Amino acid sequence: MAKLEIVSPSPALKADWRRLYDGYAAHYKREMTDRIADAVWGWINDPAHELEGAIALLDGKPVGLAHFRRMPSPLRGADVGFLDDLFVDPSVRGSGAAAALLAHVRSVAAARGWELTRWITADDNYRARTLYDKVAKKAGWNTYEMKTGD
pLDDT (tens digit per residue) in 35-84:
999 999 999 999 999 999 999 999 999 999 999 999 999 999 999 999 99
Q: How confident is the model at residue 150 (pLDDT cuts 50, 70, 90)?
A: low
How far is CA 141 from its chain centroid?
A: 20
Domain parsing of the chain, residue ranges = 4-135
- 4-135 classified as CATH 3.40.630.30: yes
Give the 3-state secondary structure percentages of the chain, helix then strand then coil, rounded to 5. 40, 25, 35
What pLDDT sits at residue 71?
96
pTM for the structure as a whole: 0.90
